[in-house]
Structure 1
Amino acid sequence: MMRRLARIVPVAVAIAVLGACQTTPGKGSAGTGMHDSGLDAIQTIVVIYAENRSFDNLYGNFPGANGVQHLKPGQYLQRDRDGSLLQTLPPVPGQGLTVASDPKQITTEATRGHPNRAYALDDPNGYGVSLDYKLHDLIHAFYNQQMQINGGKNDKFAAWSDAGGESMGYFDGSQMAMWQVARKYVLADNFFHGAFGSSFLNHQYLICACAPTDFKTQADPKKYQNNISVVNDDGVSLKVDAKSPASALDGPPKYVHYGVLTPDFRAVNTMMPPYAPSGKPAPKNSAEALDRITLSPQSAETIGDRLSAANIGWAWYSGGWQIALDGGKDAEKIVFQYHHQPFNYYTQYAPGTAARTEHLRDGGLDGAKFIADIDAGKLPPVAFYKPQGNLNQHAGYASVSAGDQHIADVIAHLERSPQWKNMVVIVTYDENGGWWDHVAPPKADRWGPGLRIPSIIVSPFAKRGVVDHTQYDTGSIQRLINHRFGLVPLPGILERDAALKAHGEAAMGDFTSALELWH
């Protein structure tokens, strides 16, 4: 898709000309020389961050998108752990495709012998699993995903999943309200989540473009040895236990040790924040177990810090935040996810700090407080919104339909907001959630990018009814913020850019390809 304006100037030039002046939205450039006058029209950037869906899982049938409609066998056939072609997809362990709380049960036997291909979960002549079903929380972890990607072939999703052939399922997303929003505005079909694997790590990548370090394990690795993954010499795969089933047809894999950290103490799988609200209510976790999975306080610079330094207002709105702080069963009812609150891991936003009070905001039950600020025209220039657990579309504890209706309702409020005429909204997902996608991610740095996920750009400036094929990743959200407000990119963004270039890959976009700001 053709660009209407030259790309952002080189980062080195941006850093060289960084001055002392600050940007106020609508007032022009903030001293980096990066800022295009057309971007002044953007006064408010809103990021809605949903959960755990690959692009093919929800938008594989979207008209004009690179989806599942015309795939050749080489793009979907799955291989066993030894590299041989699977004759059928592995069966789904346990009760089959649906979780126990669902009214309709599908047995494991119904998924045994399924042809080796991607398939529609909601096919009425097949399994008939609707968007209202929760399905399973498929494994989606740092090393596991790299093993599934298998160097870009994307042919070992079923082999290294804990849910067998369920990983190859997708929906006819045309029934979703957000599908209609995507048809109205811009759907990006070449957007990759920033880091391999987990929700935890991708929330961190969203704000810091980094993988945190667990300093307590680094200081006492013997005490916290269970935190550390046992990894092969390639540095991208887990060591398989000798007792692991040789074939995926005989059961899920077993590893020597699947931990939350890399051998050099970088936190890549789910760890809890050091500040309240944190952890899971007793008796599910003992104090010792909770201590082990609680990440040390972090102090790396985040996009929030960069915005604050430039006097740009921003906030992280978390659905049910106050409910979680209050604790008790209400937090369990909304399935509040503590590890989806990335700023709560950082000392600069610790309890008692002015920054916490200003920037970490309660989105309210069902997003009511966030919506109230939308309706009143009180959103800051940059606003992140994290829906509460049962509305975030995460398989295992949330349905697609509930989150779809909620996010579409939020979009409707944004379209009526007093701030709408100068707004850009990015609706995306944290990561793929273990669901297969057929597109190989570009090669970059150690942390990612991971799989392709949906992203919808909603704005009065958005091109209408367009599928944008520009390459993006989660860091593209920071790239847009940096471009608009003249901020110097965080180190992780520079690392990603350099790694892409070193591998001969296309640069990541900043969403301006999806907008019409210049005439």
Structure 2
Amino acid sequence: MKRSLLPMALMLALTACHHDTPSATGKVHVTLDGVVGGAVPVAGVPVTVTDHAGQHTVSAVTDARGHYSLVVEGSGPFVLTAPAAGGDGAPVTWSAAFVPTAGQMQAVANINPVTALVTQRALGVVPQGAPATAQMVGLTDARVATAAKEVAGVLAPLYAAFQVPAAQAVDPAVAADFQAGADTPLARLLSVVHFDLPEGAVSVGSDADRAVVSIPAHGTLSAAVPTTAATSALALANGPTTTPIQHVIVVIGENQTFDGLFGGYAPPKGQTVNNLLSEGIINADGTPGPNFALAAQSQAKPQTGYTLQPERAGAYATLPQPQQIGEMNPVTFQAAGGLPDKRFPADLPNGPFQITRYVPYINAGKSGLDAAVRTGDPVHRFFQMWQQTGGDNHKLDMFTWVADSTGQGGDTKGVSPANPSQGGELMGFMNMSAGDAPLFDALAKQYALSDNYHQSIMGGTGDNFFAIATADVPFFNRDGKPVMPPANQIENPEPMPGTDNFYTRDGYEGGSYVNCADPKQPGVAPILAFLAERHVPSKCAPDTYYLVNNYNPGYDMDGKPQPIGPDNYNYPPQTVPTIAEALAKKGVSWKWYTGGRDAADVAAEAAAYHVSVAKAQMLQYNNIGDPLAASSKVMGDPALKSGLAGLATFDADIAHHTLPAVSFVVPKNLDSGHPGYSAPASYEAFLKDLLAKVQADPQLWAHTAVLITTDEGGGHFDTGYIQSVDFFGDGPRISMLAVSPYARKGVVDHAYQDHASILKFIERNWRLSPLSARSRDNLPNPVVTPAKPYQPINGPAVGDLMSMFQF
């Protein structure tokens, strides 16, 4: 049908709708088949059908495409409802009205935001779950027809612009070809139009042409969507991105949990946050709060086997003395061992403590390396973190004892059963209510903060950076095929005889691989049992040894293959699909900028500290934070390899207006915020400089999203819920800030997210498919209930960060 004929066809259809097709009389028996979805499918949720008498029929949960099917018996009209997430991630009910016709045996009934507007208008209320019997009694075929006509009238210019077939414009539930994200008129429309169902608001178009129309459940309707807004929405649908965001810059610091950094954050009025302060664990001045006991740490009895729930042996009287482990001397660049850090009392109360009650947040009047106030580096390894959190973090009390009894593993220099070199340092936190972390505090209040964003993998840096690039984990292989690694590199977290809990084989120079498909392997059975209880697939392929702790990539920064063997702590080149390959295939520009890759990145400090540029690069370059250097496809393709650059290149790309569409930015080690050799204040200084450069270019800033996070929590204490996604994680919460003109101002977003959410945001914005059949970017967006806003009911599920923005 020609576009010019669409308005007339729609008018004729609306006129026909006014007379209404005769509906079935008495009870009917109909098979309903449809899709729950808008911009993306709503997977893992049941569909409830309520008949005219208020009787319910409930489907099995929707599949990955949002598809459902069920047989309905009863009297019409019927209302279909499904739990979903609003544009802000909050729980909403999507609905659709179905009016059967005489003799009808099968029908399509999709559920999407437009069908919900029609149903809300027909009911006269915004349903919260299945409608009540009294509401259904007042629902008639004529009310459904009138509501459909009203909604279609407001949206008519939008339907015309997208050439939505007239029948679907009148009843958007009946599109047999509908699939969220597909290249069909209605699906394309839903991919770029934004709905606030509780308010009945529809946002159409972008920037100066954006318009918001009102279709409330009752009362006066807005005038039709302005033609300029409809045209703007169509341009967005036809353009390279589904949102006005043309540049994404992902900045990844290191090793801070959400409570470790935002534990004392007080959000703007009207917002809520889940942290140490809001839970009453601490007071605003950092002292123990009325619920301090919730975070009390327990000791455990000596263990005879690896377990996620060690038998408790009573609470600590006071925290163990914080240790100096990993603290770098800025003159010698050497790290301290496991000695008491006498800046902190030996009798700290048993729970979280404010670090800056004992050391300053920053050395005032100092700059560079001398400005950072370094503290000890807690253990952050895979099996330790599983044991610390028990998988879901519902008890909170094993963080300290596990760290104190295992350390970084005996395959790490300086760590032994007699001195695991860990203390109470992991219970320390920064207190924004007392002035700590002022930039993070200001960014959260001005832009959007997530208090439910998680590291993807239990444990440390390497795997979590790899997950940011792949939504997957590396494995030991030869030419891409799984093979067994050297025996000394296989994890064994079973307690060493004669120790409380010191692992048999674990550490940075040894145990780091696990064959997690085999429950007979050390440490595997308890985790598999935990997952089975929650019906969560392990994602462990048979006879595959996955890397779960830090090893170096299989190539150096120049692409030279690294040795693989029992005395080499490098993992083999990987064939796991990467975001770099996907972006390149789509024709979307990208770069991964890692501090220290460019010689110019370290020239100043090399001169200041009288070391060679090569030594400065070795000190500052985060090789395990450069995960694309692990990919044989990236390192073997000159075009892809050219996307790996340093921070001097990033600065030049901004200055020359050549910044790619997608940028990943990793600070130099000493600016990363990593405890031991850096500090949060150093990461803040890096971010302040980066944001100033981006915002200094108004054209760039106008359509950019800067996503600020860390790779993982560094083993620090955190109180947040953890969702089990597979054998490898999720892990504890870490911070995520969305800094953009389009970020929801001052909002604390509760939608469940992890590192795959970054990839999902990129993929949704640039219309990319998931990276592989097993990558986590296949997981659905989370749906929650008002009673449990942090825990998806359709898990495993992770969001796509879109709830942090208002377009």
Kindly provide the CA deviation profile for residues 313-364 of structure 1, in whole angstroms up to 9, marking residues without a partner as x: 1111111113399973121443x2211100000011115622101x212223
Question: Where does residue 646 of structure 2 map in the other structure?
Answer: 362
Question: Where does residue 804 of structure 2 map in the other structure?
Answer: 514
Deviation at 1:311, TM superposition (A): 1.1
Counterpart residue type for residue 470 of structure 2? C
User: Secondary structure, in 3 states, of the residue corresponding to 2:732?
Assistant: coil
Residue 680 of structure 2: which of 388, 400, 407 is its match?
400
Q: How far apart are the structure 1 equivalents of 2:792 and 2:445?
A: 36
Residue 429 of structure 2: which of 165, 170, 191 is its match?
170
Say whether residues 1:461 and 2:776 are aligned partners: no
Q: Is the 8 A contact 1:32 1:486 kept in 2?
A: no
Larger radius of gyration: 2
Scaled by the length of structure 2, what TM-score is found?
0.54
Kindly provide the CA deviation profile for residues 495-515 of structure 1, in whole angstroms up to 9, marking residues without a partner as x: 644999997548422222121
Q: Which runs of 5 or more structure 2 residues have no equivalent in the other structure?
A: 1-36, 43-63, 68-177, 194-232, 237-241, 268-272, 282-290, 302-311, 363-371, 408-421, 516-543, 603-611, 784-790
Q: Is the 8 A contact 1:89 1:158 kept in 2?
A: no
Higher mean displacement: 443-452 or 427-436 = 443-452
Question: Where does residue 477 of structure 2 map in the other structure?
Answer: 215
Question: Where does residue 714 of structure 2 map in the other structure?
Answer: 433
Counterpart residue type for residue 320 of structure 1? G
Residue 181 of structure 1: which of 427, 431, 443 is its match?
443
Residues 419/219 of structure 1: CA separation in 2 closer, same or farther (3 Å cut): closer
Residue 346 of structure 1: which of 631, 637, 646 is its match?
631
Say whether residues 1:481 and 2:762 are aligned partners: yes
User: Secondary structure, in 3 states, of the residue corresponding to 2:594?
Assistant: strand
Q: How far apart are the structure 2 equivalents of 1:309 and 1:273?
A: 24
Q: Is the 8 A contact 1:77 1:85 kept in 2?
A: no
- Structure with more strand by fraction: 2
Q: Is the 8 A contact 1:29 1:485 kept in 2?
A: no
Q: Whose relative contact order is higher, 1 or 2, with alpha carbons under 8 Å and at least 6 apart?
A: 1
Higher mean displacement: 393-402 or 108-117 = 108-117
Q: How far apart are the structure 1 equivalents of 2:189 and 2:494?
A: 46
Say whether residues 1:271 and 2:500 are aligned partners: no
Q: How far apart are the structure 2 equivalents of 1:361 and 1:31?
A: 36
Aligned-pair Cα RMSD in Å? 3.6
Q: Is the 8 A contact 2:743 2:806 kept in 1?
A: yes
Higher mean displacement: 457-466 or 71-80 = 71-80
Question: Where does residue 493 of structure 1 map in the other structure?
Answer: 776
Question: Where does residue 139 of structure 1 map in the other structure?
Answer: 379
Question: Where does residue 617 of structure 2 map in the other structure?
Answer: 331
Question: Where does residue 282 of structure 1 map in the other structure?
Answer: none
Question: Where does residue 84 of structure 1 map in the other structure?
Answer: 313
Kindly provide the CA deviation profile for residues 358-406 of structure 1, in whole angstroms up to 9, marking residues without a partner as x: x212223xxxx31232233321111111111111111111122112111
Q: Is the 8 A contact 2:377 2:714 kept in 1?
A: yes
User: Secondary structure, in 3 states, of the residue corresponding to 1:405?
Assistant: helix
User: Secondary structure, in 3 states, of the residue corresponding to 2:744?
Assistant: coil
Counterpart residue type for residue 318 of structure 1? T
Kindly provide the CA deviation profile for residues 142-174 of structure 1, in whole angstroms up to 9, marking residues without a partner as x: 111111102322321101113221111101244
Residue 496 of structure 2: which of 230, 235, 241 is its match?
241
Say whether residues 1:43 and 2:246 are aligned partners: yes
Residues 144/320 of structure 1: CA separation in 2 closer, same or farther (3 Å cut): same
Say whether residues 1:195 and 2:457 are aligned partners: yes
Q: Which runs of 5 or more structure 1 residues have no equivalent in the other structure?
A: 22-27, 231-237, 247-252, 280-285
Residues 100/92 of structure 1: CA separation in 2 closer, same or farther (3 Å cut): farther
Higher mean displacement: 343-352 or 403-412 = 343-352
Question: Where does residue 265 of structure 2 map in the other structure?
Answer: 62
Alignment of structure 1 residues 226-265 onto 2, 5 Å? 226-230=488-492, 238-244=493-499, 246=500, 253-258=501-506, 259-263=511-515, 264-265=544-545
User: Secondary structure, in 3 states, of the residue corresponding to 2:647?
Assistant: strand
Higher mean displacement: 172-181 or 460-469 = 172-181
Q: How far apart are the structure 2 equivalents of 1:211 and 1:274?
A: 14
Deviation at 1:425, TM superposition (A): 1.1
Q: How far apart are the structure 1 equivalents of 2:685 and 2:346?
A: 33
Counterpart residue type for residue 508 of structure 1? V
Residue 373 of structure 1: which of 638, 650, 653 is its match?
653
Question: Where does residue 150 of structure 2 map in the other structure?
Answer: none
Counterpart residue type for residue 617 of structure 2? A
Residues 128/276 of structure 1: CA separation in 2 closer, same or farther (3 Å cut): closer
Q: Is the 8 A contact 1:96 1:111 kept in 2?
A: no
Identity of aligned pairs, percent? 23
Q: Is the 8 A contact 1:31 1:486 kept in 2?
A: no
Scaled by the length of structure 1, what TM-score is found?
0.82
Q: How far apart are the structure 1 equivalents of 2:801 and 2:180?
A: 24
